[in-house]
Structures are given as structure tokens and as C-alpha cells.
Structure 1
Amino acid sequence: MLHPKLVRGFQIVMVTVMMAVSVVALASTKHYTVTAPDGVTLAVQESGDPHGPAVVFVHGLLGSHLSWDAQMSSPELQRYRLITYDLRGHGLSGKPTNADAYTDGRHWADDLAAVIAASDARGPVLVGWSLGAAVITNYLAAYGDERIAGAVYVGGVIELRPELIAPHPDVYRDLASPDLKTHLDAERTFLTLCFEIQPDPITFQRLLANAALASPQMQTAVLSMTVASAEGLGSTHKPLMLLYGARDSLVNAEHSIARATALNPRIRSKLYAQAGHAPFIEESDRFDRDLSDFIDAANPR
């Protein structure tokens, strides 16, 4: 017969192994594709707890699902079903060459609806960064809020209007340049402007390489994307929170909050005093806690 201390030690080892296996299982990522109504293929990824409350993350201009790496590996968020996808013209998703594929905001709304439907996400919380917030707004305008639990806008584009977007005309001009060196230098400048607190060099280089995957046609056309703000933000009755960095160099946080709350007085907002355009990267631990609190409140047990 084994000594009781050996039995107890064996039990502790087995519990530790099972916990490690559980963490690995949660950390594993599922990859698949979804086809949008206009035929564009969208790359989708899932991680976290497949049985937890669903969260759909929508990245911003020149990003991809890699923008959300800190959230995908966050211990705070592993109890949720974490769904990301690459926007049209970005990352591993399809890159149509016609301008209308990017200027018509309904296409972006249809993409998000297709991801929600194909993933069978029940009452997800939508999280949109920068341009991703405008995608959610167009989704709300086209599909309403019946299928979602709420939304969080991070450095969100409320409308593509000069008073809401910080002026960087040279950067946006050069993003559309046919000269490759000019174009790539503009992508580096744009990415640098995303952060008040710059990420570590490896993360920055990965995000920069990721930006280079974005479609040139998309970068030329997207600044003319329609955003149905009144119909989307103005009509939703589900919880909606705006999170901005007070030092955002790409979006005017104060004016954006004012415009959003004018459209919908029920909207809540929060400023991260030290962060720039990407609080979820710059202050990821704080962001993850705020997001977790929002998800739990939107999904009462």
C-alpha cells in the first residue's frame, strides 16, 4: 500500500496536470473562414472558453486579429468565448479591389453579421477598436441590437468627420501613395501614432508587418466609408461604453464622446489618462478588467 503522503503528493501532481491541460485547452485557437454576402472571405479565430459568454472583437485600420493578442492571452478573459476576425482588406481576409467594397458601410456591417451568425455567438458583446467601432455602428444601423448584449468602443471612430478625427493629412495621403517606400513609411508613422505608451519592439514589429498586409485599395477608399451613426448609435438600447485614451493622437476623444452622447445619452464613457489610441494594448490589464466588468453586467446570471 502506498504511503498516505505519496498518495497525497500524487493527487496534487494530477490536479496540477489537469489544470495545465485546461489552460492549454482554453488557450488553443480555432481557425475557420466565413463568406460575406458579397463573396468576400473572412478569416475568423476563436479561443477562450467555448461555453462562456461570447465576445466579438473588431480591430481597426491596418490591424488584424493580432491586434487583440493581449486579450487572447489574458487570464482575466479566459472564461469568455473570444472571437476575432480580420476585416475585409486586412490580414488573412479577402481583399476586393473595387472601391465600393470599402466605401459602402453596409458591407462591413454584413461582414460582422456573417461572423456572428456563422460562429453561432449568442448575445455577444461587441468590442470595436477605432474603425472597428464604425463597423459596429453600421451593424447596429442595419441589424439592430436584438442579437447582441452590448458594445464597447475603444478609441472608437464615431463619424469620419474632421472635427472628430485628428488631422494627419500627410499620413493619410501617403498611405494611398503608389510609391512603395512612401506607403510603407506612412504605415510605420500611422502605427506609431496609435500609441502614447509604445509597445515592446517585438510587438511593434509584428503589428507593422501586419499593417503591410492591408489592401492598398482599401487604404485609399476607407476614409470615404459611410457611417450610419444616427441610425446605429442613436437607436440602440443595449449597454454601450466608450473607452478612450486621453492622449489619443488619431481620434479627438472629447469631441467623439460629446457626439456619441448627443446621439444617445445612455452611453457611458471612460478616459484612460495616460493612454493613446490603443488603451487595450497600452494599459491591457486595466482594459481587461473594465471589459470583464462590462461583459458580466451585460450577461447577468
Structure 2
Amino acid sequence: MTAPIPADREVRRILTPDGIGIASTAFGPPEGTPVVFIHGFSQSGLCWNRQTASPALAGLRLVTYDFRGHGASDRPSDSAAYQSAEVWAGELDAVIRGWGLERPVLVGWSYAGRIIGDYLAVHGTAGIGGIVFVDAVTANERRFYGTCNKLMRLMCSTDVEENIAATRTFLRRCFAAPIPQPLFEQLLAVNMMVPPQVRSALFGRTADYEDLLKRLDVPALVVQGALDEVVAPAMAEHIAATIPGARLDLYGGIGHAPFIEAADRFNAALAAFAAAAAETSRAVAR
């Protein structure tokens, strides 16, 4: 079953610097340590339901959003709206500012590794307290990827039957074990809300963030499913080896979405990381 919707849920529509309306939701007490969740390719903020409803994270200020082209956010048809670091960085910064968050922890899944890299390139680390990379993408080398690239290209097809078939298969391969049918249906429905031209526009961008990661001066946790068929564990190993002081947390027997397949473990680790990052931020402020 999908996680219940928490009672303390607040929804806002946030405007990006380039005029895109972004659907965003906050959970938990406004005074709690802020955490911003960024979803992956063809997903939405709903993928974090097992975090926003978690008792382990109840004291935190949890913010999700649907990035441009996805979920309930605006879907610009011009591919240029998806190509530059500035638009992605501006969008994330708008969400942070729109909720009045101070030095949030960024949690980025899969494609969101690029978005976090774009944010760092434009805004640096002064406005954030830490980063959790979750089976995240920060480089282009083929050795860092699994065996789902062709499926993701087929998900860009304008042939509806081909698109649906590829999307169904891709979603199943995101998990090492079968997931409950209601959750699969929700994820499939969210995926099919993303137009094929939007999916296509996400391809072709370079992912070259190594120099930024080498200079990262906030706490970083790298989470990776050992059985991920989308992003290879080699990517996480590379990220952890590049960021000074980063810790790699490898989830045995888990696929591309540890925060879903191993939610309790992930939530406990995130709670501890957020607490430590908040303490580091307070020490810096002093």
C-alpha cells in the first residue's frame, strides 16, 4: 500500500526565475531542520511518500516538488527550458526561497544529481547544509550506467503503446523485488503524465560536476542500491571518492530506489544525517 497523506501538509505553487510554475508541498513543523527532496527522471514528488509520512522524520521540515515538465508543475514545450544549469539551479533556489528554508539538506535521486550539480555551479554551498545523493547521476561515462538506457530512450517515443510498454518495464527494473501493485500503479500514472518531448529534452546535457564535488565543503552522504540496473554502483563509488569526507552507504539486495525498497533504513539514516548537518551549520554560524 502507499503511505498515508500526513495531516500537516501544505501546498504552494512557486514561480521560477524563467516563469515556470512549480508544484511544491511541505510537511512537518516550520521550525524543523529543512530537507528538500528532488525526484528523478519522469517521476514526481509523490515518490517520497514513504519519507513524508515517516515517524522517523516527523520532526523535520520536509519539502517535495515536481520539477519542470513533471507532475503538477508547468510543462514548457521548448527544449531550451530544460537545457541550462541556470534554469535548474534557479528552480531549486526558488523552491528553497519560496518556503523560506535556511540551509536545507538536499536529497537528490537519480537525475536529481545533475540538478544538485547545477545548483552548486550557480549558487555554491552557502545556502545549503548538506547533500544526500541517492543512486544519483553526476557524470556521463558509460561505465557508470546500467542496462536501462535503451528503455529510457523508448520512453521518449511518441508511439503511445511503445512508450507505455517501455515505461512499465523501466519501472519494474528500478526495483530488485516486486513492489505492491498500488504503488506500481501510482508510479506508472505519474510517469505517464510526463510528455515524451519533455523526457527527450532531459537527454543530451553533459554531466560534468567533478571539480565542484572535489571542492564540496558541506556534509555528504552517498546512498546506492547494490543491484541498481539504472545507475551502476560505480557511479556512487566515484561520487564518494571525489567528495572530501563523503560516506558511501551501499544497500545490498536493493535496486534503484533504496528510499522505497528499504524505507526504514533510509529514513533512519536521513534523520541522523540531517541532525548532524544541522549541528554543523550551527557551528559554522557561530
Tell me, yes or no, whether TM beats 0.5.
Answer: yes
Which residue pairs with 2:273 in the alignment?
294
Q: Is the 8 A contact 2:21 2:73 kept in 1?
A: yes
Q: Is the 8 A contact 1:27 1:73 kept in 2?
A: no
Return the alpha-carbon distance in structure 2 between the equivalents of residues 214 and 235 of structure 1.
35
Return the alpha-carbon distance in structure 1 between the equivalents of residues 223 and 164 of structure 2.
29
Q: Which runs of 4+ in 1 moved over 4 A?
A: none
Which residue pairs with 2:216 in the alignment?
236
Which residue pairs with 1:130 in the alignment?
110
Structure 2 counterpart of 1:263, one-letter code: T
Shift of 1:62: 1.3
Structure 1 counterpart of 2:37, one-letter code: F
Which residue pairs with 2:183 in the alignment?
203
Could you say which structure has the larger radius of gyration? 1
Return the alpha-carbon distance in structure 1 between the equivalents of residues 206 and 181 of structure 2.
35
1:249 aligns with 2:203: no
Match of 1:186 among 148, 157, 166: 166
Which residue pairs with 1:110 in the alignment?
90
Q: Is the 8 A contact 1:141 1:228 kept in 2?
A: no
Return the alpha-carbon distance in structure 2 between the equivalents of residues 230 and 246 of structure 1.
22
Q: Is the 8 A contact 2:47 2:187 kept in 1?
A: yes
Q: What RMSD in Å do the two structures reach over aligned CA positions?
A: 1.8
Percent identity for Structure 1 against Structure 2: 36
Which residue pairs with 1:271 in the alignment?
250
1:67 aligns with 2:86: no
Return the alpha-carbon distance in structure 2 between the equivalents of residues 185 and 240 of structure 1.
36
Which residue pairs with 2:71 in the alignment?
91
Shift of 1:26: 6.5
Q: Which runs of 5+ in 2 are unaligned?
A: none
Return the alpha-carbon distance in structure 2 between the equivalents of residues 262 and 296 of structure 1.
23
Q: Is the 8 A contact 1:104 1:226 kept in 2?
A: no
Return the alpha-carbon distance in structure 1 between the equivalents of residues 8 and 129 of structure 2.
25
Return the alpha-carbon distance in structure 1 between the equivalents of residues 238 and 155 of structure 2.
27
1:128-185 Cα distance to aligned partner (Å, 9 max, x none) = 0111122111111110001111010111112233221213343123112110110111
Distance change >3 Å, CA 28–CA 239, structure 1 → 2:
same
Match of 1:212 among 192, 201, 213: 192
TM-score w.r.t. the length of structure 2 is 0.92
Structure 2 counterpart of 1:195, one-letter code: F
Q: Is the 8 A contact 1:103 1:226 kept in 2?
A: no
Return the alpha-carbon distance in structure 2 between the equivalents of residues 207 and 26 of structure 1.
19
Which residue pairs with 1:163 in the alignment?
143
Match of 1:49 among 24, 29, 46: 29
Return the alpha-carbon distance in structure 1 between the equivalents of residues 136 and 189 of structure 2.
23
1:144 aligns with 2:117: no
Shift of 1:245: 0.5
3-state DSSP class of the match of 1:182? helix
Structure 1 counterpart of 2:202, one-letter code: V
Distance change >3 Å, CA 25–CA 288, structure 1 → 2:
closer
3-state DSSP class of the match of 1:37? coil
Moved more, 290-299 or 264-273: 264-273
Shift of 1:81: 0.3
Q: Is the 8 A contact 1:166 1:252 kept in 2?
A: yes
Q: Is the 8 A contact 1:198 1:282 kept in 2?
A: no
Q: Is the 8 A contact 1:54 1:80 kept in 2?
A: yes
Q: Is the 8 A contact 1:34 1:41 kept in 2?
A: yes
Distance change >3 Å, CA 118–CA 225, structure 1 → 2:
same
Shift of 1:298: 0.6
Aligned length: 277
Q: Which runs of 5+ in 1 are unaligned?
A: 1-23
